[in-house]
Every structure is written in C-alpha cells, then in structure tokens.
Amino acid sequence: MKAKWFSTVLAVAMAGMLSMGCAGEKKEEKKAEAPAPAAKKVLVLGVAGAQSGDLASYGLPSVNAAKLVAKDLNAKGGVNGMQVEVLPMDDQCKPELATNAATKLVSEKVGIVLGHICSGATKAALPIYKDAKIILMSPSATSTELTQSGSYPNFFRTISYDLIQGKAAAEFAVTELKVKKVAVIHDKGDYGKGFAESAKKALEDGKAAKVVLFEGITPGGVDYSAVIQKIKSTGADCVLFGGYHPEASKIVTQMHKKGLKIAFVSDDGVKDDTFIKTAGADAEGVYATGPQILADNEVYKKALADHEKEFGSKPGAFFPQAYAASQALLNAVAKAGSTDYDKVVAALQNEYIETPVGKIKFDAKGDAEGVSFSVYQVKNGKYELVK
Amino acid sequence: MAAENIFAHVKRALIAAVWLAFLTAPIMVIRVDTVEKTVTWRWMHLAYMAAGSFLLALVWYIMLERRDRGKANKDAEGNVKESALARGFADPKLVKPMLAFGFVAAVAFPWIFSMYQTNILVSALIYVVLGLGLNITVGLAGLLDLGYVAFYAVGAYTYALLNHHFDLGFWTVLPMGAIMGAFFGLLLGFPVLRLRGDYLAIVTLGFGQIIRLVLENWSDFSFGPSGIANIDRPGLFGIPYSVEQATTYIYYIMLGLVMLTIFVTARLKDSRIGRAWLALREDEIACQAMGIDNTRAKLMAFALGATLASLMGVVFAAKTTFVNPASFTFMESAMILAIVVLGGMGSVVGVILGAFLLMLLPEYMRAFSEYRMLLFGATMIVIMVFMPKGLVRAKRKIYKINAETAG
Amino acid sequence: MEYFLQLFFSGLSRGSVYALIALGYTMVYGIIELINFAHGEIYMIGAFMGLIVAGVLTAMGWPVLSILVIAIIVSVLYSAAYGYTVEKIAYKPLRGAPRLAPLISAIGMSILLQNYIMLAQTPDFLPFPRLIPDLDFMERFSMFLGTSDLFIIVTSLVVMVALTLFIKFTRMGKAMRATAQNRKMAMLVGVNVDQVISATFVIGSSLAAVGGVLIATHVGQINFVIGFLAGIKAFTAAVLGGIGSIPGAVLGGLVLGWTESFATGYVSSDYEDVFAFCLLVLILIFRPAGLLGKQRAQKV
C-alpha cells in the first residue's frame, strides 16, 4: 500500500513540479514582456498553430515572433494606443483542433490572427474566421488553393505557395543545373507533397527533363537507403525533395554515404539553419528555394538579435515569415485605425511595410507582393544566394 | 501523533524530491549545442524542480493519509465501498430527476454558452459515440482494437468524397456511411478471427495505419495529404445559416445521435448477442462450449463498433467541413481507447464521463498553453492509478429468480 | 543482382535498428504482458542523455571514441533510472488491475515524457554528433553498409546472445522466466516478483538507451518525438518475431526491415508500411504467435 501511495505522489509531483519549474521560468518571461502599466484596452493577436505534438517545432517559432513584434510595438506605445497581447492557441496541426482553436479565438474576441501553420488546419479553420470577419495571416500554409481559389477572402500569407515554389525549383533545376532526369521525392505531408506535385507538373510541362521517379518517404524513418538505391538505379541526375529539413538532412547524408553525389534541390522547409547543423558537411551544395532575405536586412537582423536576447536561442522554422506577418497585421490595424475588416484588408493591400522578407504588401488574392523569391545554395556552412 | 506524522511526511517528500531532482537534473539543467560546442547551464531549473516536487509531495502525503484514515473508518463500520457517483446512478429515486436535469441542461446549453463551448461539446459528444462504439468491441466483447480510428476515417471520407463528387447531402450519406462502416468492420473482422489478445491489437493497429496510408498516398482517389475542403454542413431544408447557427444545429444532431446510441447500446448489452459478447470476453472456449457462435459474435462486435465510428466520421466531416489524413492517426485510436478504459470498461455512463474528461480537459487546459499536454498525460496516469477500474465500474446485471411467481 | 544486394543491405541496416529497440520491448512484454508505450520514450530520453553528455564532453575537447563510451554508460544509467521510476509510478500500482489499465497509463506516461523533453529541452530537431568513426576496411563496402550500420548490427547480435544467456543461466534470468510463466506460482516458490519486474524494466530501459545513442549518432539528429515511431516499429517487430522471444525480436526486426526495403525497391516507398503490415497479418494468420513464438496449447 505504502509503495502505491509513494508512486502516486511521484507521478503527480513529477508533473506538478515540472509545470511549476517551467511556470517559474514563464512568469519571468511575462514580467519582461509587459513593462508598461496595465493599459485600459488591449489588442489581442491570436497565434494559432501546432504548439505541441510532433509538428510543434514549426508552430512555436511563430509564437516567439509574435511576442517579439508585440513587445516592440508595446514599447513604442502600442497600436492605436492599445497594448498588443499575444494569445497562443494550439491546434497540433489537426483540422478538428484547429476548428476548436478558431472558435476559441472568436469567442475571445481577438482582432486578428497569425496562423495557422499547416494548410489542412488552416482550411478547416478558415470558414469560422470568415464568418466572424477575422483576418488570418499564415507564415507557413503553402497550399495553392488557399489564396488562388478565391474562396477565402480573409486569408493572407507571407510565404509563397506550392505552385510557385515547385515551379521555381523545377525551372532552376532545368535551366541552371541543366539536369535531364529528375527524381521527385516527398515526405507524404501536406506541404511536401504539394511542393513535389507542382514541381512534377512543371517538369512534365517543360519537357526539358524527365521525371524518372515520384515517391513519398515515411517521415521520421531512420533509414532511407532503400529509396536512395532506387534513385541510383533510375540514373537520376537530380533529386527534387518536398518536405522539411529533418528528412532532407537524413536523405542527403545517406546519399553521400552511398556515393550518390547528385544535385539536391528542395523547398522553404529545408532552407533553415537547423538543416545545415544536422546535415553538417553533407549539407554543402544543397539548393533550396525561399524568400530572399538580404544579408543587410535591418529588420531581420534586429529580429534575430531580439530573439537571442529574449529566448536565449536561435529562432526556428518560418520565423522570418511569422515575424513579417505579425508586423504586417499589426501595421495594417494601426493604419486602419481599428480592426474593422474592410479597413484592415484595404490597409494590407495598400500599405507597404519593411519586414524580414522584404518590403511587402498584399495582392487581391492574399499573397504577399514584394517577397523576392530565389534559390539558395549551402556554401561553407551558410545559405547563399545563387546568382 | 500529528507531529510525528508530519515529520515522516517531510522525510518521504524530501526523498521523492531529491530522487526526482537527480533524475531530471541533466535534462532540465543542461542544454548543449554540439555544432558550436557550447553548453548552457540552467541551475535555476533544478531549484524550481526540487522545491516544487518537495512541496507537492508533502501536500500529497498529508492528503493521502487523511483519505486513508477516512476510508479505514468507513470499512470498520461495514459500509459498502462504492463511490458516491456509482451510488447516485444506482438509486432509482435519484436517477430520474438527474436525467431530466441533464436533458434540460443539454438542450439549453447552446443558448447559454458561447459558440466555442458548444463546438468543443460537439467534439466531446462525437467522442462519446466513438467511445460507446469501441466499448462494444473492447469493453463488451473483449477484442482489443488499436485501429478503431480507421472506421472513423472511412465515414469521414465517405461523406467528403460523395459530397465533393456528387453533391450528396449529409442526410443521404449518413446511412451510407453506416453501411460502409459495417462493411469495413467485417473486412477487418474476417482475417483476425483466429487472433487473440495483443496479436489482435497489433493487427488492428496495422489496419488503422493501412487505411491512413492509403488515404495519404492514393491522391487520385482521396486527394492525398492536402485533404478535401469545403464539405457541406448538414442541410436544414435548404435554409442558409451562419457558422454559429450551424454549430448549434450540429450540436442538436449529435445530441440526438448520442441518445440513440446510448439507447441502442444499453439494449444490446442485455440482448442475446450482448450476453454472448460478455461470455466471449470472459472465456472464449467456454463460450463456444455453451453453443454460442463465436465467429458471428466477433464479427457482430466489429461491425457494430465500426458502424458507429463511421457514422461519427460523417458528422465529423460535416462539422469541420474539411478532412485530411492527419485527423486519423494512431494517437486518435489511443485516445478513444483511453476514453473507454478511463471511463470504465463496459459502462455506458463511464464512457460518457471518460469522453468528456479526455476531450474537454485539453480544451480547458488551454490556459496552461504549452504545458497543457504535459498535465494531460499526468492526469491520465493519476486517474488510472487511483481508479484502475475506471471512473465508473460496470455493473453486471443480476437476475433474481422469485421462487413463488416462478413456481 | 547488385540492386538486390543493395536493397538487402538497406533492409539489414534498417532492420537491425528495429531489432535493437525491439529487444528491450519484447523483454518487458515477455515478463509483464504489457504493451509498454513508454518504451519508445525511454529510448528517446536515452538519446537525449547521450546528446547532453556528448555536448558537454565535446565542449571540453575529449576524443570521439571515449565520448561514445561515456555517453552510452551515462545514458544507460539514467535511462535505467527512468525506466525504474516509470515502472514504480505508472505500472506497479496497477498490478492486479484490469489488463488495459496499465496500457492507458503507459500512453499517459508517453505523452508526459514527450512533453517534458519538449519543454525542458527544445521542440526543434537537434544535431547529434557522429561518434562512430569510419573504419578503413569498411571503405570497400560503403556501397552496401556504413560503419555505423555495422556497429548497430553487431550490437544487436551481441545483445541478443547476452540476453539469451542471461535469461537461460543466471539466477535472475530463471526468476524472470518463472515470473513470465506464472506470476503467482513464482511468488509461491519464493521469487521476489517486484524485484524481478524492476530488474526487467532496468534492463529493458538500458537496452533502449544503448539503442538511443547508437541510432541517434547513426541518424545524426534527434527530437522529442523520435520515440513514438520507434516504439511502434519495435512493437511490430517484436510481435512479428513472437513477442517475448529474444531471438524473435531480432528476426522480427530484420524481416520488417527487409520487407520495407524490398517493397520500396521493387514497388514503391509510398506503400512500404502497408506491405509491412500486410506481411504481419499474413504471418500472424499462419503462425498466430509470431515467427519464433511458442504455440501454447489452450488449456480447457
């Protein structure tokens, strides 16, 4: 009996104190966040996305980005005299939880929302925001139809969509690298497969190169050598990969181990410094498409420095896009004078703003204008622009 | 006596705190970067951890001792050990007013609370039915199914695809979804008839994965991972309505379906097939010896469970207006199983409570933001440890034979 | 033929990874008949401990091989402690409870541990240093097998043999077999069942930690969810081989690896898992207790 109680205590203690230990840390953060005396009115910026579960690493950086932008603006007196408050809302990238998060944000009377992270979750949540006339801006949902289909007028994004990314990667491979046989690989995900499919389509339409292989790999796998042997047997001279950096780095390393040294072209999800860290020397020479972040972009430099100062670490995936989206949203509210739907939309479409991804405004469909899109290559442990 | 006890508690709490601090020290304190070869030490975390675990352990020991003492007294008086909850459900005088109150509260709910509350309640109700469905397979027939979510997916995609291609409405597809579910239930049921226990578990798990993988990879059929968007909400004689009204409408549909399911499962449990399931669960061979057709009973259990899951899939697709394979992972199956086991296997009330607990808890824990899943996991362990038989214990029907009337 | 051989070796290296994790899994299962969902999480914690030790020692400038050895030792010790504590918290109080209760607390524990690592460390992927140096004589076979693959295969085989001997010949091993056969009878003949189960968890968790460090350095990256997929694959491998059977776990892992690899090579990697599960169903239909599992006669 004794042992039973003891273990129960351990269980609860473990959970409890973990939360306490971490909560202690969190409280400090909060103190730092709100230096201004409690303002009368607050503008709530909802941040929805995967904040737990296996995709948390793509959703949590956007919470940090929103917090940094909010802190910055609050120090300057807020937006329209209102202090900006960040309200994170987890959806684990699951459609069902996304609708819960969305209705929660609507009930909390948020003005604007940054998110969601995954295209699927975004599609599930959008009708709810649309009904409540809330504007949504995603840093990472790349599904083409979100903007191009025209059925989601309240949706904006700071990342370019699959069709453009896939086409850019395919064109780059054909015209610049002069490849003839391409193996298109994806991670079976929403994002990766979308990219791969549009790349495949662009290659087939272009007719300059042949798609010799189109396959999905299982994300999280420990070993991709079988699919690498298969690529080798097809005689491909280029791999186009749609997906995120963990799989990309595994594939690249294992390709090199098996002596397969052909061009590797990938997407925005791979254009991340974590990729270079995990793949190490094998990352050299890898191409990835992504928004052009100029080395001398002052906003981005500042964002990076702030992140380092505030959270003691380097930002994660989609951080620049999320930072830009927070800026664009809050700027539009400031310019519109309120969170009135039509005014904010007009402001988003007309007011340029300097962001980490360039000086941007939004077109009628909701895609960002002014994000220069280019191909990068890893050189000496850094992503460098391919001229 | 009190002082001595407190001293003992402090000592035990100290031991617990030191052990846990030791256990978590490296992971809580050290953060490394092997590329830049830097190490960050965060000693404060250790202090929080130790202090927190000490205080909690102390409180916990004292609380537990009190509880133990209370329990001991009761036992001495010879009272039956039964929770107030179970007693409440057993007393016929209390049941009727409670049900009536519950019904009124349920009907009034969407008019009192916000759309968010209604929305998560709809999710919880969906999981109530899923739990009741799995309860047939696992709780009654004792067939451990770890791939139950596959049938949920079948229903959701049945509606999504039929709606997308042929514009069929919710009410037309609902019965079709049920048929599809039963079909897939039988499809899974046949090959696994011979398997027992955990071998059955792994095969059902595999079945769940196969369905998800097919949905993910067969793009021409299922639109792959990008899913199907803009699925119609349930039609209401062609009257257009807003999202908020739709939520209320679906809530009432779900309320009806839940009541129907409760009625059906309760009746089934006492029926011939229900008693056959119980016999099957207790002892397969004895059951066969008693002349029960094992094959039929097993297939019925799979098919009925699958039918309910598939029905819910249709409602799910209509509610979220979007389906993709991400909603049908193994974790979902595990959650539904947790609902059944946490609530109390075989008990209808238990499954309802379990579904509410497991579905609403993460929602109400949103205030803890990133810590909510941590607390959720801890809660699951604590409930299981304290109430291993679940929140509500299933009661077996007792047959009383009255000698006079029988004679 | 060369293509076939390449796929064969791909399957071998993948399968040996599964086998290494499945060994600990099948052991715990054999004794207490619990699908231990937290096993994958212990594996993940082992990898994180390895990373932390490696990080600290790298910063201090130690040589690579000594880092590998120390990382494995520390990680084994800590994971064993975690395994022990997890058993005491989540499973021990549930002995004698309905069969599915510990399964649910195992799922809860798995969620708890994942989120604990995510919060205490990071949600992002972390690079894991390569601690296994490339051996010169392996250069010739690099088309087929890398040094770290070889390392993992050899480790699985060594562990398999050691475990088999341990269970066959030591006192504790005998007690384990007795407990597995019939817990109550074991208690009656004087086996300290609590101790045996604790020991099982300690050994199982240590094996998970060895796997965690070796596989992490082979793959080159870790994060807090790696345990989940590893756990499912190990479970599948263990069942395929006949759960509770130690050589069965290795065989099951390899068969699983080969199936996936050949399915990828000759059909499509889109459906590699589908093939793996179909094979599993087929094997279980014809041998309901797995490849090397004992067919127990049902007593009436």
DSSP-assigned states of every residue in B192-261: TTT--HHHHHHHHHHHHHHHHHHHHH-HHHH-GGG-B--PPPPPSTT----HHHHHHHHHHHHHHHHHHH
Decide if C8 is inside a domain. Answer: no
What are the backbone angles phi and psi of residue A291, rounded to the nearest 5°? -65, 145
Q: Please tell me what DSSP assigns to residue A185.
A: E
Residue A36 to chain B, least CA–CA distance (Å):
23
Average pLDDT over residues A140-167: 86
For residue B86, is it within any domain? no
Query: What does R_g of chain A's alpha carbons equal in angstroms?
Result: 22
Query: Mean pLDDT throughout A137-166?
Result: 87
Residue A215 contacts C, CB cutoff 8 Å: yes
**Looking at the predicted structure, is the pLDDT value of residue C63 above 90?**
no
Cross-chain Cβ contact A52/C270 below 8 Å: no
Per-residue pLDDT, A19: 43
Query: What is the least distance, in Å, from the CA of B343 to any CA of chain C?
Result: 11
DSSP SS3 for B396: coil
Structure tokens at B167: 């514009």
Q: What percent of chain A has pLDDT over 90?
A: 10
**Contact flag A226-C265 (C-beta cutoff 8 Å):** yes
Q: Which of residues 20-49 of C touch A (CB under 8 A)?
A: none
Interface check C98 vs B, CB under 8 A: yes
Q: What is the domain range of residue C76?
A: 18-231
Which amino acid belongs to residue C46? Answer: G
CA dist C19 and C74 (Å) reads: 22
Mean pLDDT for the stretch of residues C59-84: 90
Number of domains comprising chain B? 2
pLDDT given at position B2 = 58
Is B405 inside any structural domain? no
**Mean pLDDT for each 10-residue chunk of chain B (407 residues)?**
71 84 83 78 81 79 66 48 55 75 82 84 92 90 89 94 89 92 90 78 86 87 85 78 83 92 88 88 85 88 93 92 88 89 85 88 77 83 81 73 59
A8, A233, A257 member nearest C3 (Cβ): A233
Tens digit of pLDDT for each residue in C145-171? 888 888 888 999 999 999 999 988 999
Per-residue model confidence (pLDDT) at position A34: 39
Q: Quick one: which H or E segment has residue A80? A: none
Residues of A in contact with B369 (CB under 8 A): 51, 88, 90
> What does pLDDT average to over chain C?
87
Cβ burial, residue C287 (10 Å; 0-12/13-18/19+): middle
pLDDT given for residue C169 in this prediction: 92
Chains in touch with A (3+ beta-carbon pairs under 8 Å) read: B, C
Chains with ≥3 CB–CB distances under 8 Å to B: A, C
Q: What is the pLDDT of residue A284?
A: 87
Residue A371's alpha-carbon distances to A315, A359, B32, B333, C42, in angstroms, are: 20, 7, 35, 42, 44
pTM for the model: 0.86
What local confidence, expressed as pLDDT, does residue C282 receive? Answer: 85
Instruction: Give me the pLDDT at residue C258, please.
Output: 92
Residues of C in contact with B337 (CB under 8 A): 100, 103-104, 107
The CATH code belonging to domain A163-267 is 3.40.50.2300
Phi/psi at C214 (5° precision)? -65, -45
- With cut-offs at 50, 70 and 90, classify the pLDDT of residue A4: very low
Looking at the fold, whether B43 and B147 belong to one and the same domain comes out as no
Give which of A384, A374, A379 is closest to A168, Cα–Cα.
A374
| Nearest residue, CB atoms, C265 vs list A10, A230, A249 | A230
Distance CA A4, CA B64 (A): 11
Nearest to A54 among C89, C218, C225 (CB): C225
Residue A246 with chain C: CB contacts under 8 Å: 125, 221, 223
Beta carbons of A257 and C273 less than 8 Å apart: no
Reduce the DSSP state of residue A115 to 3 states and report it: coil
Q: Is the pLDDT of residue A30 over 50?
A: no
Instruction: Convert the pLDDT of each residue in C262-283 to its tens digit.
Output: 988 888 888 888 888 888 888 8
Residues 6 or more apart whose CB falls under 8 angstroms from that of B296 comprise none
The whole-angstrom distance between residue B302's C-alpha and the CA centroid of its chain comes to 17
**Whole-number Å distance between alpha carbons of C74 and B33:** 18
C67 lies in a domain?
Answer: yes
What residue numbers bound the domain in which B277 lies?
A: 99-386
Residues B254 and B363 in one domain: yes
Whether the Cβ atoms of residue C195 and residue C69 lie closer than 8 Å to each other: no
Q: Which residue among A12, A88, A119 places its CB closest to the CB of B226?
A: A119
Tell me the chain A residues in contact with residue C265 when contact means C-beta distances shorter than 8 Å: 226, 229-230
Residues of chain A with CATH 3.40.50.2300: 41-160+297-369, 163-267
* C48–B contact, CB cutoff 8 A: yes
Q: What is the predicted pLDDT for the residue at C175? A: 92
Residue B361 is assigned to a structural domain of this protein: yes
Number of domains in chain C: 1
Residues of chain B with C-beta less than 8 angstroms from the C-beta of C277: 203, 206-207, 209-210
Q: What is the pLDDT of residue A271?
A: 83
Q: Which residues contact A102 (CB under 8 A, 6 or more apart)?
A: A48, A125, A128, A129
pLDDT grade for C296, boundaries at 50, 70 and 90: low
Distance from CA of C299 to the nearest CA of A (A): 34
- Which of B52, B322, B373 is opposite residue A52, by nearest beta carbon? B373
Q: Is C143 on the interface with B (CB under 8 A)?
A: no
The Cα of A223 is separated from the nearest Cα of chain C by a number of Å equal to: 6
| Yes or no, beta carbons of C265 and A8 under 8 Å apart | no
Is pLDDT at A11 greater than 50 in this prediction? Answer: no
> A250 at the C interface (CB within 8 A)?
yes
- Chain Cα centroid distance, residue C254: 13
Cα-based distances in Å from B249 to A96, B236, B244: 17, 9, 9
Distance to chain A for B194, nearest Cα, Å: 31
Tokens of A360: 């941007």
DSSP at A172: I
Query: Residues A165, A289: contact at Cβ < 8 Å?
Result: yes
- Judge whether residue A16 has pLDDT over 70: no
In a domain, B88, yes or no: no
Q: Is residue B24 part of a domain?
A: yes
SS3 call for B168: coil
Mean pLDDT of A193-214: 88
C92 to A277: CB separation less than 8 angstroms, yes or no: no
DSSP string, B63-123: HHHHHHHHHHHHHHTT-----HHHHHHH-HHHHHHHHHHHHHHHHHHHHHS-HHHHHHHHH
In angstroms, the CA C97 to CA B238 distance is 53
The dihedral of CA B70, B72, B74, B77: what is its sign? negative
Contact residues for A282 (Cβ-Cβ < 8 A; gap 6+):
A249, A252, A253, A255, A256
Q: Do C143 and A8 touch (CB under 8 A)?
A: no
Specify whether the CB–CB gap between A190 and A120 falls below 8 A.
yes
Which among B334, B374, B385 is the nearest to C112, CB-wise? B374
Of B11, B40, B74, the position where a domain reaches its end is B74
Is any Cβ of chain B less than 8 angstroms from the Cβ of C101?
Answer: yes
Statement to judge: residues B24 and B172 lie in one domain: no
Q: Residue A82: pLDDT above 90? A: no
Residue of B28, B52, B385 with shortest CB distance to A16: B52
pLDDT digits (tens, 9 = 90+) for C222-244: 888 888 888 888 888 988 888 78
Q: Which helix (H) or strand (E) holds A89?
A: strand A83-90
Min Cα distance C11 → chain A (Å) is 7
B333 contacts B205 by C-beta, under 8 angstroms: yes
- The residues, any chain, with a CB within 8 Å of residue B228's CB and separated by 6 or more, are B157, B160, B161, B164, B222, B322, B323, B324
CA of B100, closest CA in chain A: separation in Å? 29
Max CA distance (Å), chain C: 65
pLDDT at position C223: 87
Helix (H, G, I), strand (E, B) or coil at B358: helix
In total, the C-beta contacts within 8 angstroms joining chain B to chain C are: 184
A126, A82 Cβ separation under 8 angstroms? no
Closest-CA residue of chain A to C126: A278
- Closest approach of A263 to chain C, Cα-based (Å): 19
Q: Which two tokens stand for residue C165?
A: 């001997």
Nearest by CB to B225, from A52, A106, A188: name it. Answer: A188
Of B48, B219, B324, the CB nearest to A95: B324
**CB-based contact B320 A95, cutoff 8 Å:** yes
Write down the pLDDT at residue B73.
54
Evaluate whether B320 touches B369 at the Cβ level (below 8 Å): no
3-state secondary structure chain C: CHHHHHHHHHHHHHHHHHHHHHHHHHHHHHHHCCCCCCHHHHHHHHHHHHHHHHHHHHHHCCCHHHHHHHHHHHHHHHHHHHHHHHHHHHHHHHCCCCCCHHHHHHHHHHHHHHHHHHHHCCCCCEECCCCCCCCHHHHHHCCCCCHHHHHHHHHHHHHHHHHHHHHHHCHHHHHHHHHHHCHHHHHHCCCCHHHHHHHHHHHHHHHHHHHHHHHHHHHCEECCCHHHHHHHHHHHHHHHHCCCCHHHHHHHHHHHHHHHHHHHHHHCHHHHHHHHHHHHHHHHHHCCCCCCCCCCCCCC
The percent of residues above 90 in pLDDT, for chain C, comes to 27
Whether residues C123 and A56 touch (CB distance < 8 A) is answered with: yes
Closest partner residue to A103 (CB to CB) among B40, B52, B119 is: B119
CATH of domain A41-160+297-369: 3.40.50.2300
Compute the distance between CA of residue A17 and CA of residue B21 in angstroms, rounded to an integer.
10
- Contact flag C265-A229 (C-beta cutoff 8 Å): yes
In this prediction, residue B76 carries a pLDDT of 46
**Amino acid sitting at position B248:** T
Per-chain mean pLDDT for chain A: 82
Shortest alpha-carbon distance between residue C268 and chain A (Å):
7
Whether the link from the prior residue into C39 is cis, omega within 30° of 0, is no
Residues B161 and B238 in one domain: yes
Residue type (1 letter), A94: K
Closest chain C C-alpha to A76 CA, distance in angstroms: 31
Q: What is the pLDDT of residue B87?
A: 57
Beta-carbon neighbour count of residue B276 at 10 Å? 23
Query: If phi over 0 gives left and psi between -120 and 50 gives alpha, with beta otherwise, what is residue B383?
Result: alpha
C122 vs B: CB within 8 A: yes
In terms of domains, do B69 and B114 share one?
Answer: no
B36 in reach of chain C (CB within 8 A): no
In the block, residue with structure tokens 């230990």 = A21
Q: What does the CA dihedral C12, C13, C18, C21 come to, rounded to 10 degrees?
A: 130
Interface A-B, measured as beta-carbon pairs within 8 A, has a size of 189
Please indicate whether residue C142 or residue A262 has the higher confidence score (pLDDT): A262
CA–CA gap between residue B80 and residue B103 (Å, rounded): 30
Q: Are A258 and C143 in contact (CB under 8 A)?
A: yes
pLDDT score at B12: 83
Residue C259 covered by a domain? no
Residue A148 DSSP SS3: helix
Whether residue B195 and residue C289 make contact (CB cut-off 8 A), yes or no, is no
- Nearest by CB to B57, which of A13, A89, A312? A13
Q: Is B187 near chain C, with CB under 8 Å? A: no
Residues of B within 8 A of C59 (CB-CB) are 32, 37-39
Helix (H) or strand (E) holding A377: strand A373-379
Q: What is the mean pLDDT of residues A336-344?
A: 86
**Residue A37 belongs to what H/E stretch?**
none
Q: Do B327 and A94 touch (CB under 8 A)?
A: yes
DSSP-based three-state secondary structure for A268: coil
CB contact under 8 A, C124 and A57: yes
